[in-house]
Chain A
């Protein structure tokens, strides 16, 4: 009021008018649903081809939000991403999105040979024809940023080209590798990360594409907070201690990241078997599916998920992984 040198009522009405213009329009939830079902492929979900998982996620990976894959090294996150990128490039009658995929490969794990192998095994009718295979593979664009600054630059470019070039999916593999390369610690790292989080989210939101992000794990420090102040007061350590040492691994990137992703899929190895768990999702109950990696990508061993209770769904186990590797080696002989 002091600044503009006008009366209070004028300021108030100006504020109201500006707010009215700036505020986003509303939609009833019903019209939202109708809009999604009409305009988008399969009502706004991208089927992964894993029946149990798709059923749990109400159709597949949701559009417009971040989906996170987190798990220890070597468990199959990159394989899953490869399979998804392949699926997205296929035409719609094969269950794909018929569009381009931008694959941001930070750790140089993208193997086009493996991609073609997956394609050949899962969809032989398309991939045996060389031109079709070339076209499908040609739709997957791989970016290899070597630093966070480069990544930021390419993000801006991606935003511009998203609507023009028919990009239908974005895969970032892996987010943790990007951030861990930076030297800043603590609060400043959180700040740079938070800018990226909101940018990627807004990208996903306005272009309504599925965004898949991979994350690493790190071991749990003693500093990790897991309780509220009122919980600490009840000092019966009997219940707390077994839970604390149950799993030594937690997802990297911190709790702010955990809030920002909408769906979190945890991949873990337990007693020699691998599981993919739906840890955080607004639509599905906490379920765990056993899976294994085949020449055609990933396939579920069972389509019925096992319901996992409690915070167990967030825990990441890494037991018995060596047996898997040894088993694989024996199989090769």
Chain B
């Protein structure tokens, strides 16, 4: 590995290169005091540089025997992982069917639609459903609800929680009436207590929160879903520099995907629509542009067809459009 890839500050790198050290192997045989003298830096800084260099070199050679490229997993192992993944039900059998069982964990799902079609409702429903305990086929986890528009109504969440508990007790009665009477000990208040609600008022807060989530998630390991409603709101208002917007958004998306994979939770993003001019006519498309549409793993569009609401799977690595 070359020197320029080491994670040290630019001035230190510059000094190393000007002193003639261009590859790691040349650093391996020198002591820290010699390095300090040659580079004209303090001894602790030199020790730091050597430590960083040996660390990156060590990780490169150790796995040489078991994998050709570091960090890759064989496809077979991944299949095994995927089968053991849990899904979060959306409480709609058809939607679950086309999603392949529900919202997948470890993936980012984007749901978009016109105003008033039920995106926030679906988001609240998912935040409640993830708390269904394991006995009933759920994940039994907590949820984080990030609200950018202020459309999270607590009363509605309460209603949904009550209905969820009713469903569970009916299911209980239906299946287990022969066996012992398992009472549902959950109350709607408990469900509400497990939803962590963040209210974001600007896009800097949004970025900061996603950075902070890393720490938050390591403290609260039970969280199994993050719902962001909606991810576009702050980015559509007076954002002059489009290039900056794209960069910020893709950075955010990468971080979210990272979080999803590391803590094996599901990320659900709710998106708005905008009009797009294609083929000499205006059509509806999800907001934030084409580059954003590449960043999410799954995409569901909710729309009106006749008198009913329909869902359309626009993009998914494993499922057909439906």
- Residues on A facing B (Cβ under 8 Å): 1-2, 5-9, 15-16, 18-33, 36, 43, 58-59, 62, 64-65, 191, 194-195, 197-198, 201-202, 204-206, 223-232, 239, 243, 255-256, 258-262, 264, 279-280, 282-283, 309-314
Contact = CB atoms under 8 A, between A and B. Distances in A.
Which 6 residue pairs spanning A and B have beta carbons closest together?
A310-B307, A19-B211, A280-B116, A8-B7, A22-B208, A30-B192
- For chain B, the bracket of interface size reads 35 or more
A3 B210 CA distance: 23
7 contacts: A6-B9, A18-B208, A23-B211, A204-B150, A205-B199, A225-B276, A282-B153
B192 A65 contact: no
A295 to B, nearest CB: 34
Nearest to A222: B281
A283 B230 CA distance: 17
A8 B12 CA distance: 12
Interface in B206-225: 207-212, 214-216
A231 B303 contact: yes
A283 B149 CA distance: 15
B145 A29 contact: yes
A1 B275 CA distance: 39
B10 A1 contact: yes
B285 to A, nearest CB: 7
Interface stretch (B64-72, B155-163, B173-181): B155-163
Interface in B184-211: 189, 192-201, 204-205, 207-211
Judged by DSSP, the binding face of A is: helix
Contacts, number: 191
B250 interface: no
B76 interface: no
A279 B117 CA distance: 10
A2 B157 CA distance: 46
A229 B155 contact: no
B192 A227 contact: no
Contacts of B121: 282
Contacts of B9: 1, 5-7
B102 to A, nearest CB: 22
A26 B198 contact: yes
B284 A197 contact: no
B190 to A, nearest CB: 8
Interface of B: 7-12, 48, 52, 114-116, 120-121, 144-145, 149-159, 189, 192-201, 204-205, 207-212, 214-216, 230, 233-234, 236-238, 272-276, 278, 281-285, 301, 303-308, 312, 314, 321
A202 B201 contact: yes
B116 to A, nearest CB: 3
A23 B205 contact: yes
**Which residue among A206, A239, A261, A262 has the maximum number of chain B CB atoms within 10 Å of its CB?**
A262
A201 B11 CA distance: 46
Nearest to B155: A58
Contacts of B48: 7
Contact of B283 (A1, A18, A227, A309): A227
A262 B212 contact: no
B275 A24 contact: no
A283 B155 contact: yes
A229 to B, nearest CB: 5
Contact of B196 (A7, A28, A62): A28
B116 A314 contact: yes
Contacts of A226: 284
Which residue of A36, A58, A256, A312 has the most chain B CB atoms within 10 A of its CB atom? A256
Nearest to B271: A259
A314 B199 CA distance: 28
A312 to B, nearest CB: 7
A26 B196 contact: yes
Contacts of B200: 24
Given A15-B211, A33-B192, A255-B275, A311 B307 contact: yes
